Amino acid sequence: MSDQYMMEKEEIFSKVMRAGRRTYFFDVRSTKAGDYYLTITESKKFTNDDGSFHYKKHKIYLYKEDFSEFQDNVNEMIQYIIDEKGEEVISERHQSDFKKDDDTTSEATAQVDADTDEPATSNFTDVEFDDI
């Protein structure tokens, strides 16, 4: 690759935010014209059955002409969530001090999965398919 191409892709300023299985990368990059733009990358780690893992990445490119409106919308959405639900994390599995309870009571079966809004399925039976 040419030196010019490498300069265009060079990160000017970067920050990393880790959040459980997700990592967010905030990178200031330079356009061909020498102006700056922001990339926001979400990287999520997935573990395969064999123990190996892979990452899925999603990237947003944000240019200066969109900064103000983007910031306004993000701030409005954040404020709406805080006003409606407060700042306390509701989903137990996202709380850093969450300790899994081995007791499977009726309360556990009444919980709702935060990702799907479906009833949590904490009671299940392991099936060995080798026996079938």
Spell out the residues 6+ positions from residue 54 whose beta carbon is closer than 8 angstroms to its own: 45, 46, 48
pLDDT score, position 11 = 73
β-bridge mates for residue 15, sequence order: 26
- The answer to whether 104 touches 122, Cβ cutoff 8 Å, is yes
Strands 11-19 and 53-63: unpaired
Residues with pLDDT less than 70, the chain: 1-10, 92-132
All domains in the chain, ordered by first residue: 3-116 (3.10.450.700)
CA-to-CA distance for 49 and 69, rounded, in angstroms? 43
